[in-house]
Structure 1
Amino acid sequence: MNYETKMDLSSADDGALDHDRGESAEGSSSRKRLWIILAIVGALALAAVLLTGGEETEPFTEDRTGELAAVTVMSPGSTTIEGQINATGTLAARREMPVGVTGEGGRVQSVLVEPGDWVGAGQVLAVIDRSVQTQQTASQSAQIAVAQADADLAQANLDRALQLVERGFISQADIDRLTATRDAAVARVRVARAQLGERQARNAQLNIVAPAAGLVLERAVEPGQVVGPGSGVLFRLARGGEMEVLAQVGEGELAQIPVGATGRVTPVGSEKTLTCQVWQKSPVINRETRQGTVRCAMSYDEALRPGGFAKVELASGTMDAPRLPESAILSDDKGSYVYVVDGENTVQRRDVEIGMISGDGIAVASGLDGSERVVLRAGGFLNPGEQVRPVAAKAQ
């Protein structure tokens, strides 16, 4: 009997131990699941922080009670805005003077200037060999002497004949013939002198000279080269060294730039900023690019190289208007608009017309007077007629 009882107790103890082991295994499994869930939540939180860059930016926040959305608003007021138009352009000589052969040409004997040299009006740029023309000039001078001798002889014959006509030795017809001979000889003298003058003028044109004072930009001739009227441009000069930038701007911006407006020019590859003044606007618009050319004159500077590019900042006048950040202005098929919050904290759409654009913001040409409370951000999440809780923007 005792033996059986001991066996029962042993069996009971074994059952209790198995029960305790089951509960211990179940608790361990629960703890593992808890740790796994916590690890997943932590990983998701870390991924969210990395994706947002560690910053919490909300276009607008909803009240904890779920009643109204808070939006940032500001009253822009009205400020005087100086318009500025940025463009790119090509540097060029304001008045470029192409210089070529004006005479009969010949072999170039010497070239006296280089690109970058300053020259005066009438200064010789290149000399053409004139050995043949010099002999022609000497021959023409001799022809004048021959003609003058014939004229002197004709005059002497006429003078003697006039003395004899009174005595009746020579008739009036002889006098008329001698007079005509004398007149023809004198005329031949004048012809010879005119031919000499023409020859001398042609010789003078053998020298290639500067038509006006300026800066030599290009040289396309070398000693020994044979040139003529068909040789094209041999030198290019900038009259007075005056330069300009040909700025390309849109047709809308072109109308905003007045003649006489000032600007700043920064040549590409240079840190120097130069001033310029608009002296001409293109009367036509390019049909393909929808742009026009603004010609802005400036004085010579070593940083200016015709043919190069430059950045141009042109003043386009001033205007009094509200100015808003870019985030406040929206657009759709109907045009540009902003959201304003009225006295009952209701969102209303207000169509506006954009004016000058600068680094400080966008001017509103029409649609606002500056006293409205304009939604600065998150306008895309709002709808007209929606109730909101406006929060005034902090002063910058």
Structure 2
Amino acid sequence: MDSLAGSTQSFYEDADNRRKRTRLIIALVLIALALAGTWYAFSSGKGAAADDAAAGGAASTPSVTVVVPGRQSVEAVISVNGTIAARREMPVGVAGEGGQVVRVLVEPGQWVGAGQTLAVIDRSVQAQQAEGLAASIRVAQADANLAQAELERAEALVSRGFISKADMDRKRATRDSAQARVRVAQAQYREAVARNGRLNIVAPAAGLVLTREVEPGQIVSGGSGVLFRMAKGGEMEMLAQMAEADLQRVSVGTRATVTPVGTALNIAGQIWQVSPVVNAETRQGMVRIALPYSAATRPGGFADARLVSGSAEAPLLPESAVQSSPEGNYVLVVGKDDRIARKLVKVGTVSDDGVSIASGLTGNERVVALAGAFLNVGDKVKPVLQKAPQ
């Protein structure tokens, strides 16, 4: 009985131990599965986060329009400004003895011919003097005719011995003296006529009347100064001050396009004179641009001019690509790593085709054409190439 009881107890103890081991194995397996699931979930989440971060970074890189300008032939244009003036201004004053102005026949803006009367001076006294001199010519001529007749009669009597040779000499001298008085009277008359002809104020040459400084009733003389100003032939010019360096780039015959202030006109002209000296203080010299007559070119007015001084090879960019800062003009370029960099440039000619770059670029750079103001140096971008201006 005792052995049977012991065997039974041993059997139950073995069964209990097996159950404990089974539960322990199951618990260990579940723990292993939980750890494996946790590791997998962590690894998957980390990969997805990395993918999301990469996708987000790609989406935040902006696309910018860039242009590779190359080098093109552009006209070298110098912009200047200055004043309009008559190319050959003619001041007109009193040429004769003057007097009271009776009539003024022209107004500013009128065209006149050479010798045309501009103002009439009263000549009532001078006319009477001229008539008196004309009468003295007739008196002197009568005396000369009488002396000539007496001389002829005396010559007829010489051969008969009625007139001495001395009397003949006296009569001949009387005749010569009378004829001389005729010539003196004629000269005095012509002088009076010439003086009277200079009383009126006349145009010295054909041209355009610019100003009028005389009115009817005014007393004028040689000291009255300028009464009219005229532009000979109506020709105008623009007077422009240029820097010493720019003077070296232009010459007589250089083409120019002049735009008077307040107008949209483009008046073609050309330089006809370049100053041979430079102002020691301002380091500038004068150029004179000949212009044809136009109602918009008023002497004293202001105008802008573009001088075409030749052509050169230079990069040409759209105006939107060039920006300004306290340091000067600059452009943004995209480097090989697609990051933004800044380059200072010197601007040359600005035209409807674009902005030429005098220095600072070779022409092979990728220059940001648009939206440069929203970019910073070092920003990474996605460049989109556009054609350079032609």
After TM superposition, the score normalised by the length of structure 1 is: 0.68
Determine the structure 2 residue equivalent to 1:144: 137
Superposed CA deviations along residues 246-303 of structure 1, whole A, max 9, x for unmatched, are 122222222223433333322223x331313123233222222222222222222222
| Aligned equivalents of 1:395, 1:328: Cα separation in 2 | 23
Q: Say whether 1:282 aligns with 2:281.
A: no
Structure 2 counterpart SS, 1:259: coil
Structure 1 counterpart SS, 2:138: helix
**Does the 8 A contact of 1:243 with 1:300 survive in 2?**
yes
Q: 1:328 to 1:91 in 2, by over 3 A?
A: closer
* Deviation for aligned residue 1:102: 0.6
| Aligned equivalents of 1:255, 1:358: Cα separation in 2 | 22
* Deviation for aligned residue 1:390: 11
**Does the 8 A contact of 2:67 with 2:386 survive in 1?**
no
Determine the structure 2 residue equivalent to 1:9: none
**Does the 8 A contact of 1:260 with 1:277 survive in 2?**
no
Q: 1:151 to 1:109 in 2, by over 3 A?
A: same
Determine the structure 1 residue equivalent to 2:385: 394
AA matched with 1:226: I
Q: Which sections of structure 2, spanning at least 5 residues, go unmatched?
A: 1-56, 58-64
| Aligned equivalents of 1:328, 1:393: Cα separation in 2 | 23
Identity between Structure 1 and Structure 2 (%): 55
Determine the structure 2 residue equivalent to 1:192: 185
Q: Which sections of structure 1, spanning at least 5 residues, go unmatched?
A: 1-63, 65-71, 383-388
**Does the 8 A contact of 1:272 with 1:303 survive in 2?**
no
Structure 1 counterpart SS, 2:168: helix
Determine the structure 1 residue equivalent to 2:42: none
AA matched with 2:302: F
Find 1:174's aligned residue among 159, 167, 176.
167
* Deviation for aligned residue 1:84: 2.0
Find 2:119's aligned residue among 118, 126, 131.
126
Counterparts of 1:246-265 in structure 2 under 5 Å? 246-265=239-258
* Deviation for aligned residue 1:351: 12
**Does the 8 A contact of 1:120 with 1:213 survive in 2?**
yes
AA matched with 1:275: I
Structure 2 counterpart SS, 1:256: coil
Q: Say whether 1:209 aligns with 2:202.
A: yes
Counterparts of 1:1-396 in structure 2 under 5 Å? 76-269=69-262, 271-283=263-275, 284-323=277-316, 326=322, 356=349, 360-364=354-358, 370=363, 373=365, 394-395=385-386
* Deviation for aligned residue 1:131: 0.5
Superposed CA deviations along residues 1-60 of structure 1, whole A, max 9, x for unmatched, are xxxxxxxxxxxxxxxxxxxxxxxxxxxxxxxxxxxxxxxxxxxxxxxxxxxxxxxxxxxx
Superposed CA RMSD: 3.9
Superposed CA deviations along residues 79-103 of structure 1, whole A, max 9, x for unmatched, are 0011222221111112211111111
**Does the 8 A contact of 2:68 with 2:367 survive in 1?**
no
Structure 2 counterpart SS, 1:394: strand
Q: 1:292 to 1:184 in 2, by over 3 A?
A: same
Q: 1:328 to 1:374 in 2, by over 3 A?
A: farther
Determine the structure 1 residue equivalent to 2:62: none
After TM superposition, the score normalised by the length of structure 2 is: 0.69
AA matched with 1:234: L
